[in-house]
């Protein structure tokens, strides 16, 4: 066991930290209020290679390992979780799926554009009536000669109104997970309509959308993976995606710790800094312990992936712990700030709002517990 970063990993982390401090953190509050990050940041992420991490260079990627990927997401999450989510979805869920399951034509068409930021992707799995119950999705793709006609609705799709391509999961056969297939659908295809969802509690800078498909025609060459194997594509993507969420939560916890320490050493009450009071130090130390635990659990997932070991249960464990820890850490930081924490001039209120959704998407905390429990017992719980 060696927890030291390589020179390359340390350099990537330093680059991501500098980029976050310069291009993201100063604008996070304004983007949150406007409910939109500056889209110019996407091209900047691509230029630095952050949108191509772990993707082979032959397809326009920047290579690197999964720990380097986690380090970048930690830093982006520290600056603004909305930006972290853009990368997690376009790269983590879609580009990596294309790299794993795509044909040579699909890889060469989509990956270079996604990696350099010229294009963005969204992951269209969730529906209005099927969130955790993804195996029973109702969006349908019907054969029409050499093409497929896709009809249905997807909900809460990150990057939905910005994406150039959607990885869409639709029913092509029998009920249940064996009847689902995956398709790469350009978002300018006739019959596809997108509506942005406003008024979110957190991650307000992300373009979250509802997608409606009305007889959207795509060729069979747009299918990603074998017919009827789309659910496997989705679950494989989400297993790695949960690592991405956990890494972003580490960033939230780090931001909470930084803010709490800074404020506690500057703010005075009763003639001395509030950092000198035991219960304030308790709040801060609890954040620090959660930070270390969440980070190590997340790094373990990256290590398992690199060594070719099973990682799905470890990913669920990291996502469960880190997301719940991010909520605790943000709440503790707000408590340190007192009333000022309730005002959006200070960063901790946004951290509370952004952290809360982490326990919901890419599998709720309850779903993670079921996955972990099934792994340990071999029994499906209901």
Give me the DSSP letters along 61-95.
--B--HHHHHHHHHHHHHH-HHHHHHHIIIIIIII
pLDDT, one tens digit per residue, over 13-47 is 999 999 999 999 999 999 999 999 999 999 999 99
pLDDT, one tens digit per residue, over 308-333 is 999 999 999 999 999 999 999 999 99
Check whether 355 has a pLDDT greater than 90.
yes
Surface-to-core class of residue 56, CB atoms within 10 Å of its CB (0-12 exposed, 13-18 middle, 19+ buried): middle
Give the three-class secondary structure for 170.
Answer: strand
**Within 10 Å of residue 179's Cβ, how many Cβ atoms?**
19
**pLDDT confidence of 244, banded at 50, 70, 90?**
very high
Q: What is the pLDDT, as a whole number, of residue 25?
A: 97
**pLDDT confidence of 358, banded at 50, 70, 90?**
very high
Q: Full-prediction pTM beyond 0.85?
A: yes
Give the three-class secondary structure for 158.
Answer: strand
Q: What is the pLDDT, as a whole number, of residue 382?
A: 76
Q: What is the pLDDT, as a whole number, of residue 2?
A: 85
Task: Kindly give, in sequence order, each residue whose CB lies less than 8 Å from that of residue 360, ignoring residues fewer than 6 positions away.
Answer: none
Give the pairing type, strands 147-158 and 121-124.
Answer: unpaired
- Residue 65 has φ and ψ, to the nearest 5°, of -105, 180
The b/e string for 156-171 (b: 16+ C-beta within 10 A; e otherwise) is: bbbbbbbbbbbbbbbb
Give the separation between CA 63 and CA 59, rounded to whole angstroms: 10
Q: What is the pLDDT, as a whole number, of residue 260?
A: 98
Question: Domains in the chain and their CATH numbers?
Answer: 7-120 (1.10.540.10), 122-231 (2.40.110.10), 232-377 (1.20.140.10)
Q: What is the pLDDT, as a whole number, of residue 231?
A: 95
Give the separation between CA 267 and CA 277, rounded to whole angstroms: 12
**pLDDT confidence of 91, banded at 50, 70, 90?**
very high
Average pLDDT, integer, range 67-96: 98
pLDDT, one tens digit per residue, over 257-310 is 999 999 999 999 999 999 999 999 999 999 999 999 999 999 999 999 999 999
Task: Kindly give, in sequence order, each residue whose CB lies less than 8 Å from that of residue 297, ignoring residues fewer than 6 positions away.
Answer: 246, 314, 317, 318, 321, 322
Mean pLDDT, the chain, rounded, equals 96
Give the three-class secondary structure for 132.
Answer: coil
Average pLDDT, integer, range 192-221: 97
- Residue 309 has φ and ψ, to the nearest 5°, of -95, 160
Residue 266 is among the residues annotated as catalytic for this protein: no
Give the separation between CA 75 and CA 70, rounded to whole angstroms: 9
Average pLDDT, integer, range 209-232: 97
Catalytic hit among 23, 74, 127, 362: 362
Check whether 92 has a pLDDT greater than 80.
yes
pLDDT, one tens digit per residue, over 95-148 is 999 999 999 999 999 999 999 999 999 999 999 988 788 889 999 999 999 999
């Amino acid at each position: 066991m060696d927890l030291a970063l390589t020179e390359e990993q340390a350099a990537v982390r330093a680059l991501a930290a500098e980029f976050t401090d310069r291009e993201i953190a100063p604008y996070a509050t304004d983007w949150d209020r406007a409910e939109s990050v500056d889209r110019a940041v996407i091209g900047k992420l691509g230029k630095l290679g952050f949108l191509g991490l772990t993707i082979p260079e032959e397809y326009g990627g920047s290579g690197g390992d999964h720990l380097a990927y986690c380090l970048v997401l930690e830093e982006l999450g520290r600056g603004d979780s909305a930006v972290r989510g853009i990368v997690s979805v376009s790269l983590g869920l879609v580009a990596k799926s294309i790299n794993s399951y795509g044909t040579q034509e699909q890889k060469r068409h989509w990956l270079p554009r996604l990696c350099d930021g010229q294009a963005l992707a969204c992951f269209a799995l969730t529906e209005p009536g099927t969130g955790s119950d993804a195996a029973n999705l109702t969006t349908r793709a019907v054969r029409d000669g050499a093409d497929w006609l896709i009809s249905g609705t997807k909900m809460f799709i990150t990057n939905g109104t910005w994406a150039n391509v959607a990885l869409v999961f639709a029913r092509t056969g029998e009920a249940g997970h064996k009847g689902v297939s995956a398709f790469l659908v350009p978002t300018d295809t006739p019959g596809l309509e997108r509506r942005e969802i406003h008024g979110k509690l957190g991650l307000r800078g992300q373009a979250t959308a509802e997608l409606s498909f009305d007889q959207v025609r795509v060729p069979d060459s747009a299918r990603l993976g074998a017919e009827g194997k789309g659910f496997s594509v989705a679950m494989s993507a989400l297993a790695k995606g949960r690592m991405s969420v956990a890494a972003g939560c580490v960033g939230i916890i780090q931001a909470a710790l930084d803010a709490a320490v800074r404020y506690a050493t500057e703010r005075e009450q009763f003639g001395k800094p509030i950092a000198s009071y035991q219960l304030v130090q308790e709040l801060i130390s609890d954040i620090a312990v959660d930070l270390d635990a969440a980070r190590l659990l997340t790094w373990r997932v990256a290590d398992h992936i690199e060594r070719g070991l099973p990682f799905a249960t470890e990913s669920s464990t990291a996502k469960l712990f880190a997301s719940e820890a991010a909520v605790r850490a943000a709440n503790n930081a707000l408590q340190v700030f007192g009333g000022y924490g309730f005002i959006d001039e200070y960063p901790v209120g946004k951290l509370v709002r952004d952290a809360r959704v982490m326990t919901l998407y890419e599998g709720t905390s309850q779903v993670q517990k079921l996955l972990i429990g099934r792994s340990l017992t071999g029994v499906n719980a209901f």
